A and B are shown apart, each in its own frame.
Chain A
């Protein structure tokens, strides 16, 4: 073992441990989001999943996306969802009418498992031995620094970026028009 470690310049153990801990936490939290009987608890479990996604982005060296994830998702979207919960006077405690009937849940489980099997098979077939090679490259070669992202947004993707701005404006106006009392 020590000879093996001496041969490889880097050890990848911390990354693997980090990945699997965060991944297991995320899957458990995601399962709680879709199965819990309490709406507010679901929103709080969603925060765990979103924070886990941000941690995976950090692991993938994509720091700007991770920060945006925390700002927009945890900072804005979850708060908006909690506002939605409160404005629709959803039961804040435990309630049994969040889920559909048993048949609907059974069909949903079958569809989700079939989808997982299909996607898992395709992924295992297509990308079996592809390594990310995070240590073999410099940070610049990973292409994920904030500078490289901004260069890409404001050159190649300038037009889509402007389209997203228009979309956000349209969504803002649309939400105001829909939610206004008159």
Chain B
């Protein structure tokens, strides 16, 4: 049986949902960032699978853009986490409730 498009899309969907669970359930900010990486990777699998299916390079180019944006995101995200740690001595995202009225 030939490789189906669906296999890759389902793999992406499962990884996406695991990442969503991680973002919602974790309290440590670095762990939340790791879960976001899972989500971004699942999207990349979908992009490259569609790109190969249609036989065009566009999807793979977008996957490269996603990788670049993820690098930028994790850089700024970790800088924010470091600043949070410096100001609050903790990176527990539940304790960042300064906006609560």
Contacts and interface: CB of A to CB of B under 8 A. Distances in A.
A98 B56 contact: no
Contact of B60 (A23, A64, A130): A64
Given A34-B21, A60-B48, A62-B51, A77 B74 contact: yes
B84 to A, nearest CB: 8
Main secondary structure of the interface of A (DSSP, over half): helix
B5 A72 contact: no
A99 B25 contact: yes
Interface in A43-74: 43, 46, 49-50, 53, 56-57, 59-62, 64-65, 68-69, 72-73
Contacts of B58: 152, 156-157
A132 B71 contact: no
Given A73-B37, A88-B81, A143 B51 contact: yes
B55 A143 contact: yes
A19 B6 CA distance: 12
B11 interface: yes
Interface of B: 1-11, 13-22, 24-31, 33-35, 37-38, 41, 44-45, 48-49, 51-58, 60-61, 63-65, 67-76, 78-83, 85-86, 91-92, 94
27 contacts: A23-B7, A30-B14, A33-B38, A43-B34, A49-B38, A49-B41, A60-B52, A62-B48, A64-B60, A69-B44, A77-B70, A81-B37, A84-B30, A84-B82, A87-B85, A99-B27, A100-B27, A107-B24, A132-B4, A144-B52, A152-B58, A156-B58, A167-B72, A171-B71, A171-B72, A175-B76, A178-B80
